[in-house]
Amino acid sequence: MSMKGCRFVDRKKVIDFSYDDKTGCISDVICDNETYKADAVILAVGTSTIQELAKKSATLSTREEFLKVLNLTASDLVSTKLWLDKKIRIPFARNVCSSFNDSSGWTFFNLNDLFDDHRNSPVTTVQADFYHANELLSLNT
Protein backbone atom coordinates (compact mmCIF):
# COMPACT_ATOMS: atom_id res chain seq x y z
CA MET A 1 0.00 0.00 0.00
CA SER A 2 2.91 2.34 0.70
CA MET A 3 4.08 1.90 -2.90
CA LYS A 4 0.66 3.13 -4.06
CA GLY A 5 0.89 6.33 -2.00
CA CYS A 6 -0.63 5.24 1.30
CA ARG A 7 1.14 6.81 4.26
CA PHE A 8 1.29 5.04 7.62
CA VAL A 9 2.05 7.18 10.67
CA ASP A 10 3.23 5.33 13.79
CA ARG A 11 3.04 6.39 17.43
CA LYS A 12 0.47 9.11 16.88
CA LYS A 13 -2.83 9.27 18.73
CA VAL A 14 -5.75 10.48 16.65
CA ILE A 15 -7.73 13.10 18.57
CA ASP A 16 -10.00 14.57 15.89
CA PHE A 17 -10.79 14.95 12.21
CA SER A 18 -11.73 17.74 9.83
CA TYR A 19 -14.78 17.19 7.66
CA ASP A 20 -15.19 18.72 4.20
CA ASP A 21 -18.85 19.61 3.66
CA LYS A 22 -18.30 19.93 -0.12
CA THR A 23 -16.98 16.40 -0.58
CA GLY A 24 -18.79 14.77 2.33
CA CYS A 25 -15.50 13.20 3.44
CA ILE A 26 -12.92 13.54 6.18
CA SER A 27 -10.18 15.83 4.87
CA ASP A 28 -7.70 15.91 7.77
CA VAL A 29 -6.62 13.68 10.63
CA ILE A 30 -5.57 15.56 13.76
CA CYS A 31 -3.00 13.86 16.00
CA ASP A 32 -1.84 15.67 19.15
CA ASN A 33 -0.16 18.77 17.69
CA GLU A 34 -0.01 17.72 14.03
CA THR A 35 -2.59 17.68 11.23
CA TYR A 36 -2.34 15.30 8.28
CA LYS A 37 -4.19 15.86 4.97
CA ALA A 38 -6.14 12.77 3.97
CA ASP A 39 -7.68 11.52 0.73
CA ALA A 40 -9.22 8.62 2.65
CA VAL A 41 -9.26 7.39 6.23
CA ILE A 42 -9.48 3.77 7.39
CA LEU A 43 -10.37 3.28 11.04
CA ALA A 44 -9.02 -0.20 11.75
CA VAL A 45 -9.71 -0.11 15.49
CA GLY A 46 -11.83 -1.96 17.99
CA THR A 47 -15.23 -1.02 19.38
CA SER A 48 -13.97 0.77 22.49
CA THR A 49 -11.48 2.87 20.51
CA ILE A 50 -14.03 4.02 17.93
CA GLN A 51 -16.45 4.81 20.78
CA GLU A 52 -13.80 6.96 22.48
CA LEU A 53 -13.12 8.78 19.20
CA ALA A 54 -16.84 9.35 18.58
CA LYS A 55 -17.28 10.85 22.06
CA LYS A 56 -14.21 13.10 22.03
CA SER A 57 -14.08 14.19 18.40
CA ALA A 58 -15.87 17.43 17.60
CA THR A 59 -16.32 16.15 14.04
CA LEU A 60 -17.39 12.54 14.66
CA SER A 61 -19.73 13.47 17.52
CA THR A 62 -21.92 15.32 15.00
CA ARG A 63 -22.17 12.40 12.57
CA GLU A 64 -25.06 9.96 13.06
CA GLU A 65 -23.11 7.01 11.64
CA PHE A 66 -20.45 7.43 14.34
CA LEU A 67 -22.91 8.11 17.16
CA LYS A 68 -24.61 4.77 16.44
CA VAL A 69 -21.43 2.96 17.48
CA LEU A 70 -21.94 4.25 21.03
CA ASN A 71 -24.78 1.72 21.39
CA LEU A 72 -22.48 -1.24 20.81
CA THR A 73 -21.19 -3.24 23.75
CA ALA A 74 -19.63 -5.72 21.37
CA SER A 75 -19.84 -6.53 17.72
CA ASP A 76 -21.97 -9.59 16.97
CA LEU A 77 -20.64 -11.73 14.17
CA VAL A 78 -21.94 -14.72 12.27
CA SER A 79 -19.26 -16.42 10.20
CA THR A 80 -20.16 -18.92 7.49
CA LYS A 81 -17.69 -21.05 5.56
CA LEU A 82 -18.80 -22.95 2.45
CA TRP A 83 -16.98 -25.69 0.58
CA LEU A 84 -18.21 -25.92 -3.00
CA ASP A 85 -17.76 -29.26 -4.77
CA LYS A 86 -15.70 -27.82 -7.63
CA LYS A 87 -13.50 -24.89 -8.51
CA ILE A 88 -15.37 -21.79 -9.60
CA ARG A 89 -13.95 -18.48 -10.72
CA ILE A 90 -14.67 -15.62 -8.33
CA PRO A 91 -13.49 -12.27 -9.75
CA PHE A 92 -12.39 -10.69 -6.47
CA ALA A 93 -10.73 -12.52 -3.57
CA ARG A 94 -12.17 -10.18 -0.95
CA ASN A 95 -15.26 -8.02 -0.89
CA VAL A 96 -16.73 -5.67 1.70
CA CYS A 97 -20.42 -4.87 1.61
CA SER A 98 -22.67 -2.83 3.83
CA SER A 99 -26.24 -2.04 4.64
CA PHE A 100 -28.78 -4.77 4.52
CA ASN A 101 -30.21 -2.01 6.67
CA ASP A 102 -28.42 0.93 8.25
CA SER A 103 -26.32 -1.03 10.71
CA SER A 104 -25.18 -4.34 9.22
CA GLY A 105 -22.29 -5.19 6.99
CA TRP A 106 -20.47 -8.21 5.70
CA THR A 107 -17.24 -9.41 4.17
CA PHE A 108 -16.81 -12.16 1.61
CA PHE A 109 -13.53 -14.02 1.06
CA ASN A 110 -12.40 -16.52 -1.57
CA LEU A 111 -10.02 -18.49 0.64
CA ASN A 112 -8.48 -20.28 -2.37
CA ASP A 113 -7.01 -16.99 -3.58
CA LEU A 114 -5.96 -15.76 -0.14
CA PHE A 115 -4.34 -18.73 1.59
CA ASP A 116 -1.75 -21.21 0.35
CA ASP A 117 -3.49 -24.00 2.30
CA HIS A 118 -6.50 -23.69 -0.04
CA ARG A 119 -4.79 -22.62 -3.27
CA ASN A 120 -4.39 -26.08 -4.86
CA SER A 121 -7.57 -27.57 -3.46
CA PRO A 122 -9.95 -29.19 -5.99
CA VAL A 123 -12.89 -27.43 -4.28
CA THR A 124 -13.69 -23.75 -3.74
CA THR A 125 -13.73 -22.52 -0.16
CA VAL A 126 -15.48 -19.22 0.60
CA GLN A 127 -16.19 -17.46 3.85
CA ALA A 128 -18.73 -14.74 4.63
CA ASP A 129 -18.69 -12.80 7.90
CA PHE A 130 -21.83 -10.87 8.86
CA TYR A 131 -21.25 -8.05 11.35
CA HIS A 132 -23.79 -6.68 13.83
CA ALA A 133 -25.55 -9.97 13.20
CA ASN A 134 -28.01 -9.68 16.07
CA GLU A 135 -30.22 -7.62 13.75
CA LEU A 136 -30.05 -10.29 11.05
CA LEU A 137 -30.90 -13.22 13.30
CA SER A 138 -34.42 -11.95 13.91
CA LEU A 139 -35.26 -11.69 10.19
CA ASN A 140 -37.96 -14.04 8.90
CA THR A 141 -36.93 -16.16 5.94
94 in Cβ contact with 114 (< 8 Å): yes
Domain boundaries, the chain: 2-71, 77-137
Sign of CA dihedral 37, 68, 43, 82: negative
pTM (predicted TM-score): 0.51
Kindly state the percentage of the chain with pLDDT values over 90: 37
Q: What are the pLDDT digits (tens) for 44-93?
A: 777 788 899 999 999 999 988 888 888 877 667 788 999 999 999 998 88
- What does DSSP assign to residue 136? H
Residue 20 pLDDT greater than 60, yes or no: yes
Instruction: State how far the Cα of 126 lies from the Cα of 84, in Å rounded to an integer.
Output: 8
Max Cα separation, the chain?
56
